Amino acid sequence: MATEECGYATGFRDTLGALANPKAFTGAIDLAQVESGWAVSKLREMIRIRVAEEFVGELSESGEARCPCHLGIGQEAVAVGVSAHLKSSDRVFGAHRSHSHYLALGGGLTELFGEVLGKEIGSSKGMGGSMHLYGPEVGFHGSVPIVGATIPIATGAGLACKMDGAGGIAVSYFGDGAAEEGLLHESLNMASILKLPVIFVCENNLFSSHLDIHLRQPQNTIARFATAHAMPSHTVDGNDVVAVARATEQLVARARKGEGPGFLEAVTYRWRGHVGAKEDIDVGVRRHPEELVAWKHRDPVRRLADSLIARGAMAVDGVAKITEEMSADCTEAIDRARKAPYPPVSNLLDFVYQRGGK
């Protein structure tokens, strides 16, 4: 259905241009001035995330995972590129699609699958499910399903980082749909005025649930909101891990020096639907099969692998071998999670509500 047929946004401007065109940026990643070892490590991290999410999708479809599971398959380069410049002492906050954010920081597979299956060994002790991951040991301070809810929390964490003076920063992940929440703009304003060390990372996948950005906003560039708050920003190809890492490096360096917040807009696309393992090409207004196929050609994993193979830094069957290795790791982690006990009912009081005096 065309935009005009819906009667919405007839004045829409495509300000992202080629970045929003799935037929652009499909070639190999530019690895100039990039060490092969670094690139291979990022490829392994992206494949680890993808394989883990594919397993989560299977657990969701089979009904073994009883919580809603939001998958970000196709968006792996964003979390991996951003995390390349973070420390475990930083304070990172996700949203409802945060498996990649948690794993890219070094979160454990057993803890992820344990949480998805509601087991006591889960990252949140089995009390939260897929949308409530928590791993402070790797710098991940939580994700929640309420759209945009962690943005002001991350801003507050940035204020704490500034006050303690230890050089830490906060990171807030959110999607283009959350950019329509008023709290984002309040947070951007506060961070800019107080020069807080916060990196706002918008994974602009062009959809809010099932609704195309063309039907929700007058433009498709989210970084324009950073400009309105006098905040430096970069808008990059979110399926290029090198581009994401380079842009993040600049913003993080400023923030650690006390020069204030930064905004990263990573243009990407999720291969699966809003929730669950299905692709959702039969719902919504503009998520057409041909568009999804085109975006799969812009695969962040395949493009980086092609670059490494062309350089001679990886064998042609390198991706298959890494995928096999990661699949074995996930299988073992799921087996451990399945054998683990469910949390006792009494934990509802111990971990959901705080007892008086504790």
SS (H, E, C) 304-316: HHHHHHHHCCCCC
Q: What pLDDT digit, counting tens, does each position of 101-119 carry?
A: 999 999 999 999 999 999 9
Say what the pLDDT of residue 103 is. 98
Which residues pair with residue 264 across a beta bridge? 201, 234
From residue 284, alpha-carbon distances to 6, 141, 171, 185, 288 in Å are 12, 32, 30, 27, 9
As a whole number, mean pLDDT of residues 120-145 equals 96
How big, in percent rounded to 5, are the helix, strand and coil portions of the chain?
Answer: 45, 10, 45
Q: Using 50, 70 and 90 to split pLDDT, how confident is the model at 351? A: confident
Residue 29 makes CB contacts below 8 A (sequence gap 6+) with 39, 240, 241, 242, 303, 304, 306, 307
CA separation (Å) from 13 to 3, 24, 182, 297?
A: 12, 18, 22, 25
The identity of residue 179, as a single letter, is A
DSSP state at residue 134: -
pTM of the predicted structure, to 2 decimals: 0.95
Instruction: Please identify which residue in the block is written with the tokens 């509500």.
Output: 353
What are the tens digits of pLDDT across the range 276-317? 999 887 766 667 889 999 999 999 999 999 999 999 999 999
Share above pLDDT 90 across residues of the chain, in percent, rounded to a whole number: 87
Distances (CA, A) of 20 to 97, 292, 325: 21, 13, 33
Q: What are the helix (H) ranges across 120-181?
A: 150-164
State yes or no: pLDDT of 8 exceeds 60.
no
- Mean pLDDT across 112-138: 96
> Other C-beta atoms within 10 Å of 24: how many?
13
Local confidence band at 205 (pLDDT 50, 70, 90 cut-offs): very high
pLDDT given at position 289: 87
In the predicted model, is pLDDT for residue 2 greater than 80?
no
- Residue 246 phi, psi dihedral angles, 5° rounding: -65, -45
pLDDT value at 54 more than 50: yes
Mean pLDDT across 247-273: 97
Q: Stretch 169-195: mean pLDDT, rounded?
A: 97
**How high is the pLDDT of residue 288?**
84
229: left (phi over 0), alpha (psi -120 to 50) or beta: alpha
- Residue with the bigger pLDDT between 353 and 93: it is 93
Q: Residue 120: how many CB atoms within 10 A of its CB?
A: 15
| pLDDT tier for residue 347 given thresholds of 50, 70 and 90 | confident
pLDDT value of position 287:
77
Which is higher by pLDDT, 345 or 325? Answer: 325
Instruction: Tell me the mean pLDDT in the region 337-348.
Output: 92
Show the tokens assigned to 37: 């070892």
Average pLDDT over the chain reads 93
> 3 pLDDT exceeds 50?
no
Alpha-carbon distances, residue 294 vs 18, 135, 163, 209, 316 (angstroms): 13, 35, 47, 20, 23
Residue 346 confidence (pLDDT): 83
Mean pLDDT of 155-159: 98
Residue 358 pLDDT > 60, yes or no? no
Task: Check residue 355 and give its pLDDT.
Answer: 67
